[in-house]
Amino acid sequence: MNIEQIHPELRKSFGRLPRLPLHNRLFVALFGVLMRLVPAPQAGPGVTIENRILKSAGARIYRPEGALSGAGLLWIHGGGLIGGRPAQDDSICGALARDLKLVVVSVKYRLAPAHRYPAAIDDCFEVWQWLQRSARDLGVDPARLAVAGQSAGGGLAACLAQRVFDGGGVQPAAQALLCPMLDDRTATRHELDAIEHPLWNGRSNRAAWTWYLGQPAGLPSVPSYASAARRGDLAGLPPTWISVGNLDLFHDEDSRYAERLQEAGVSCQLHVSPQAPHAFEVVAPDARPSRELFMALYRFLGATLGL
């Protein structure tokens, strides 16, 4: 991708990004070890952080100082289903907790290739169930909980909303999906490889989906709650907000999922950022497109959670 296609306020940050062979299994293993040694962006003042170990998953809890709004957010980090950790989003989760007076719980889930489906979605569901049981102790109304995530975490959040809906009981009040990884069939579009999307490209996407599913991406069927866009009936899902850059590998699948939600009668807002590649809000959080994205996210959460 030509750097001139990218928004002027994002070019410098993306120009510094190395091209990583995330389709190489050995590199992914070594990179994961390295990233655990890199300090994460700080949550900032006014927020406390606590870690809990559950049966298979973990929960990283962000609490704002002072009075709580009574609402909460379950957050799922990105990393292509093959990398990442909750601490990488300390800055985002800390800001959400501090600015909106939310209790934010970030999921520590198992990663492919070592842990294939359904490990990650099972872990997300375990934390959701724990959060429902613990909501009152955390100062949260169980009916005012949203699910959210970024990239692979956005895809897992969408799958989690589907699984919770099918199981009945208390439903998420909303789902917020930031550049979500929703559809393994995008990995079969080999013509996208030539574009060399920054940060996350077609080859990385194909390898990650294959490792996660334990089968080649794009086969006629996948298990339930493995690839959110494969679900036939989207009716009944919670109000949804989806963001994606128009230069993102996931642009088409995210836009189509938003259309399908609207067709199914689900309230859905689609926020498309022009000249923006994948996860630009993390790569360049202070750039104008990133600030606009987070303002839109805050408005959505404020409206759906009664803030």
* SS3 of 198-259: CCCCHHHHHHHHHHHHCCCCCCCCCCCCCCHHHCCCCCCCCCEEEEEECCCCCHHHHHHHHH
Instruction: Provide the mean pLDDT of the chain.
Output: 94
How many angstroms separate the CA atoms of 98 and 153, rounded? Answer: 21
Q: What pTM was computed for the model?
A: 0.95
Q: What is the pLDDT of residue 41?
A: 67
Domain of 292, CATH number, reads 3.40.50.1820
CA 132-67-149 angle, to 5 degrees, is 45
Structural domain range at position 14: 3-305
How many angstroms separate the CA atoms of 301 and 303, rounded? Answer: 5
| pLDDT tens per residue across span 119-129 | 999 999 999 99
For the chain, what percent of residues have pLDDT higher than 90?
Answer: 89
Residue 138: pLDDT above 90?
A: yes
| pLDDT tens per residue across span 141-160 | 999 999 999 999 999 999 99
Are the C-beta atoms of residues 273 and 245 closer than 8 Å to each other?
Answer: yes
Residue 198: pLDDT above 70?
A: yes
Nearest to 226 by CA among 248, 238, 209: 209
How many distinct structural domains can be found in the chain?
Answer: 1
Q: What is the mean pLDDT of residues 71-94?
A: 96
| pLDDT tens per residue across span 21-78 | 778 777 777 766 666 666 666 777 899 999 999 999 999 999 999 999 999 999 999 9
| pLDDT tens per residue across span 209-266 | 999 999 999 999 999 999 999 999 999 999 999 999 999 999 999 999 999 999 999 9
Are the C-beta atoms of residues 153 and 123 closer than 8 Å to each other?
Answer: no
